[in-house]
Chain A
Amino acid sequence: MSVLRTVVISPIRLYQRVISPALPRSCKYEPTCSHYAAEAIRTEGVLRGLVLGAWRILRCNPWSHGGYDPVSAQRLFRPRRSSPSS
């Protein structure tokens, strides 16, 4: 994984380690918004990942149904033809 992706993901990891355990579960999706964002950045890249993560948080509102929603099911971006394996 590139250095930039690791750097961008690190605050999310920090949130997951320090802040999130103190709160009751407040995400109706599986994987949760923070896991989704980290995974999206890891696999799709920083820009796409941040857009996907932001879009997921917006979808995680009281009107949506929640449930299983992995990064691979996203339809915002076309899948990359040759995905560079990290």
Chain B
Amino acid sequence: MPVAIIAPIQWLINLFLPILEFFHDQIGIGWGLSIILLTILLRLCVLPLGVKSFKSMRGLQAITPQMKALQTKYKDDKARLQQETMKLYSEHKVNPFGSCLPLLVQIPFLISFYYMLRTDLKFEICGGGRSLGLPHDVGCSEVPNPSTGFHYDSSTFDTDVARFKEMGRSIGGFGESFIGIHDITAVATGSLLVLLLVLYVGSQMASSIVNMPPTADKNQKRLMLALPLIFVFFLIPIKPPSGLFLYWITTNVFTLVQQWGLIQVFGHVKHEPVPEDDVDAGGAVAVKAAGGGPAPPPPPRKRKKKKSGRRR
């Protein structure tokens, strides 16, 4: 891995690890639950992004009837349709496209969790902060507890473990299990892997359905739904630790809850009425007058205006 990528990831890991340790040591909850709590904490940090995206998406949804009306009106004149659509967007101060940042911001988190579960967090859970030389597919549940004096050696691993057993040490039990997952630091296999994949794909699909931008066409919607399935094929060879699924499923569930909560707070989309006779300039004015209630588009804020000078 190039330094340019690994350095920020290590920086994130160094940030996450003390938080997990705090949850585990000070509050006294298990490692699995600590991961879930950290995930929720991270999602709360990026919540403003979600709220803003939700609002702008709703602003766009609110004018879909007008867009449909334009589409039927100018169905033979593509250029005119484009013009009128752009006019509608600028009149309602909506940008039809989402932004790159909310999509990208999750990727470093994901990579950090992946590496953290393989390295630093694993050292923390069963090595007392020290690397035991464990390969990625050997989790904490196979390590003698306490692990003092133990170092992994693939050729003598079985006899080593037997020796430590004779000394009266138990195997595993560092708190690496969580509900049905016997070891969050180990690679999931068999029925557990299937269960985790089903939960991941299901939650991912559900969260992409609720976050589907209204600009997506049918094909894109299908592709977006199929994406987690395709992703699974790439996922299996990189052998993600089970704990990664905890992060993933939690973050997807958070998306669902967030969307539900935002709808509760801001109410459902009220489609703005389309005057039957004219959807042109007159219609837009009428809509502006009618849209004075709590319905979107969100009123432009003063802060936004100030910033528009610097950014474009």
Chain A residues within 8 Å of B, Cβ to Cβ? 22-28, 32-33, 57-69, 73
Q: B311's contact among A27, A33, A62, A64, by CB below 8 Å, is which? A: A64
Q: Does B103 lie within 8 Å of A26, measured CB to CB? A: yes
Can you spell out 25 A-B residue pairs with CB atoms less than 8 angstroms apart? A22-B224, A22-B227, A23-B224, A24-B217, A24-B220, A24-B224, A25-B215, A26-B97, A26-B98, A26-B213, A27-B97, A57-B101, A58-B101, A60-B100, A61-B52, A61-B101, A62-B49, A62-B52, A63-B307, A65-B311, A66-B95, A66-B97, A67-B312, A69-B312, A73-B312
Q: Does A23 lie within 8 Å of B220, measured CB to CB? A: yes
Q: Does A57 lie within 8 Å of B215, measured CB to CB? A: no
CB of B102 within 8 Å of the partner chain = yes
Please, which residue of chain A has its CB at the minimum distance from the CB of B93? A65
Please, which residue of chain A has its CB at the minimum distance from the CB of B50? A62
Chain B positions within 8 Å of A62 at CB level: 49, 52-53, 55-56, 98-99, 101-102
Q: Convert B208-240 into 0s and 1s, putting 1 for each residue whose CB lies closer than 8 angstroms to a CB of A.
A: 000011011100100110010000000000000
Q: Does A57 lie within 8 Å of B100, measured CB to CB? A: yes
The list of the 9 closest CB pairs from A to B, nearest first, reads A62-B52, A24-B216, A60-B100, A61-B101, A26-B98, A28-B97, A22-B223, A60-B99, A24-B220
Chain B residues within 8 Å of A, Cβ to Cβ? 49, 52-53, 55-56, 95, 97-104, 212-213, 215-217, 220, 223-224, 227, 304, 307-308, 311-312
Chain A positions within 8 Å of B224 at CB level: 22-24
Please, which residue of chain A has its CB at the minimum distance from the CB of B213? A24
| Pair count A-B, CB < 8 A | 74
Apart from A61-B52, A62-B53, A62-B98: 16 A-B pairs, beta carbons within 8 A = A22-B227, A23-B103, A24-B217, A25-B97, A25-B215, A26-B97, A27-B97, A61-B49, A61-B102, A62-B49, A62-B55, A64-B311, A65-B308, A65-B311, A65-B312, A69-B312
Please, which residue of chain A has its CB at the minimum distance from the CB of B98? A26
For the complex formed, measure the closest distance between the CB of B185 and the CB atoms of chain A, giving whole angstroms: 30
Q: Give bound CA distance, A84 to B186, whole Å.
A: 52
Q: Give bound CA distance, A69 to B95, whole Å.
A: 15
For the complex formed, measure the closest distance between the CB of B176 and the CB atoms of chain A, giving whole angstroms: 34
Q: Does B227 lie within 8 Å of A64, measured CB to CB? A: no
Q: Does A61 lie within 8 Å of B308, measured CB to CB? A: no
Please, which residue of chain B has its CB at the minimum distance from the CB of A59? B311
For the complex formed, measure the closest distance between the CB of A55 and the CB atoms of chain B, giving whole angstroms: 11
Chain B positions within 8 Å of A24 at CB level: 98, 212-213, 215-217, 220, 224
For the complex formed, measure the closest distance between the CB of B234 and the CB atoms of chain A, giving whole angstroms: 11
Q: Give bound CA distance, A26 to B208, whole Å.
A: 14
Max chain B CB contacts within 10 Å: which of A24, A58, A67? A24
Q: Give bound CA distance, A18 to B100, whole Å.
A: 17
Chain A positions within 8 Å of B223 at CB level: 22-23
Q: Does A28 lie within 8 Å of B98, measured CB to CB? A: yes
Chain B positions within 8 Å of A60 at CB level: 99-101
Chain A positions within 8 Å of B311 at CB level: 59, 64-65
